[in-house]
Amino acid sequence: MKPLARPANPCFSSGPCAKRPGWSLEALHDACLGRSHRSKAGKAKLKEVIDRTRAILGVPADYRIGIVPGSDTGAVELALWSLLGARGVDCLAWESFGEGWITDAVKQLKLKDVRTLRADYGALPDLTQVDPARDVVFTWNGTTSGVRVPNGDWIKDDREGLAICDATSAAYAMDLAWKKLDVVTWSWQKVLGGEAAHGMLVLSPRAAARAASYVPPWPLPKLFRLNSKGKFNEAIFVGETINTPSMLCVEDAIDGLKWAERVGGLKGLMARSEANLAAIAQWVERTPWIDFLARDPRTRSCTSVCLAITDEWFRRLDETAQRAAVKQLETLLDVEGVAHDIAGHRDAPPGLRIWAGATVERADVEALLPWLDWAYGEIRRVAAA
Ligand SMILES: Cc1ncc(COP(=O)(O)O)c(C=O)c1O
């Protein structure tokens, strides 16, 4: 039997993620359109994003916050290209985004002194192996495996290297340990339901000092340059972007930040996301065909919740058939208007991924869960026929 209730919002994609509850294009009516982003009005909007970001996330006063091109990927690569190579680096990967940053370090930058610490989907590498004398590059929340670091305790306060953290699916939903981090990046398209294309780049004083003094041996495109005329370009960190931003996206980011304030700031956002995870966890607990991909409950993501189908029938299929079954389930729910885009990432083991970030309502998650049981029953029934 099909469940009676449907989620009010079927958007469960892990990026771009659901817009905030109540969002409409009307939210953008005050956008600074048709004006220069370097006009007083334009710069004020960009600065507003920076100031609201600092306030909501509790970014320390001496850390710089900039808006850069290229979404989260742009922000991470700007950091890697500008900062790496000054000392050895430990690169951590437990899913495809961390793997991507290893490719940058090893194959593109061809760094001589890289250590890679890897784990399979569902696990974390041994964080105690990270050497504080070296830089470290890692992803706070592995979006494609649904595994997050439980905290920043494994990063030493007196480290010599820089801790470079891709926090795109963690920022606004998890407690980032700022004093343990030197470079933090994310994009607007995740937990606040903003638009892609722009990245946020946060630098600790030590990261800014590295950027100002270190000249990497490779050429830097203009889009990645933190220095201008031989000097550190402080202007980037008050809203003078390297190139032209979309003021429509900027307005949307401001809208997301104002909403974040209305729901109780970071604490409120984290509580919303954790409540969504809890709803899913209760269902997983009582549902025999599914389990979390993350093995250790302390590492389960509260944003990109990745689930493995553990049912005997499914496990006996080969990978191609498993992916086809997941696709079938996803399509059933898509056609019903119940859930969009909930298949796991193409690089992850076949399974489901449900975005549970702060813009998703717990009531919608709760309404979705019986539909998952229904859809799984349907694909089993069709397979048996
Ligand atoms: C952990 C992580 N890093 C990087 C990215 C890439 O982000 P973008 O496409 O905004 O550049 C994503 C996107 O899902 C992500 O989840």
pLDDT tens digit string along 94-107? 999 999 999 999 99
CA of 116 to the centre of ligand 1 (A): 20
Contact 262, 341 (CB under 8 A): no
The residues near 207 (Cβ < 8 Å, ≥ 6 apart) are 79, 83, 162, 164, 182, 183
Q: How far apart are CA 138 and CA 100, in angstroms?
A: 11
- Among protein residues, the one with the nearest Cα to ligand 1's atom 16 is 143
DSSP structure string for 18-76: PPPTT--GGGGTT--TTS-TTSHHHHHHHHHHHHHHHHHHT--TTSEEEEEESHHHHHH
pLDDT tens digit string along 209-237? 999 999 999 999 999 999 988 899 999 99
DSSP state of 373: H
Predicted model pTM: 0.98
The residues near 71 (Cβ < 8 Å, ≥ 6 apart) are 187, 189, 196, 197, 198, 199
- Among protein residues, the one with the nearest Cα to ligand 1's atom 14 is 15
pLDDT tens digit string along 111-146? 999 999 999 999 999 999 999 999 999 999 999 999
In angstroms, what CA-CA distances link 140 with 64, 147, 231, 251, 356?
Answer: 19, 9, 31, 27, 16
CA of 300 to the centre of ligand 1 (A): 18
> Which atom of ligand 1 lies nearest, measured to the CA of 196?
10
Q: How far apart are CA 356 and CA 368, in angstroms?
A: 12
> Which atom of ligand 1 lies nearest, measured to the CA of 72?
11
> Which atom of ligand 1 lies nearest, measured to the CA of 170?
1
In angstroms, what CA-CA distances link 238 with 46, 102, 241?
Answer: 8, 31, 8
**Stretches in the chain below the pLDDT threshold 50:** none
- Among protein residues, the one with the nearest Cα to ligand 1's atom 12 is 168
Q: Return the bridge partners of 300, or none.
A: 147
3-state secondary structure 301-355: CCCEEEEEECCHHHHCCCHHHHHHHHHHHHHHHHHCCCCECCECCCCCCCEEEEE
- Among protein residues, the one with the nearest Cα to ligand 1's atom 7 is 72
What residues line ligand 1, using a CB cutoff of 6 Å?
15, 71-73, 97, 139, 143, 166, 168-169, 187, 189, 196
pLDDT tens digit string along 228-262? 888 999 999 999 999 999 999 999 999 999 999 99
Q: How far apart are CA 127 and CA 101, in angstroms?
A: 17
> Which atom of ligand 1 lies nearest, measured to the CA of 144?
16
CA of 72 to the centre of ligand 1 (A): 6
> Which atom of ligand 1 lies nearest, measured to the CA of 140?
1
pLDDT value, residue 230:
87
Give the residue carrying structure tokens 């604490």.
267
pLDDT value, residue 291:
98
| Preceding amide of 245 cis, omega within 30 | no
pLDDT value, residue 229:
87
The best mutation among 73, 184, 185 to test binding of ligand 1, ranked by most ligand atoms within 8 Å of the C-beta, falls on: 73
Q: How far apart are CA 10 and CA 120, in angstroms?
A: 30
In angstroms, what CA-CA distances link 384 with 51, 281, 297, 370, 378?
Answer: 57, 29, 34, 21, 10
**Residue 66's closest CA among 57, 77, 53, 81?**
53
Q: How far apart are CA 138 and CA 97, in angstroms?
A: 9
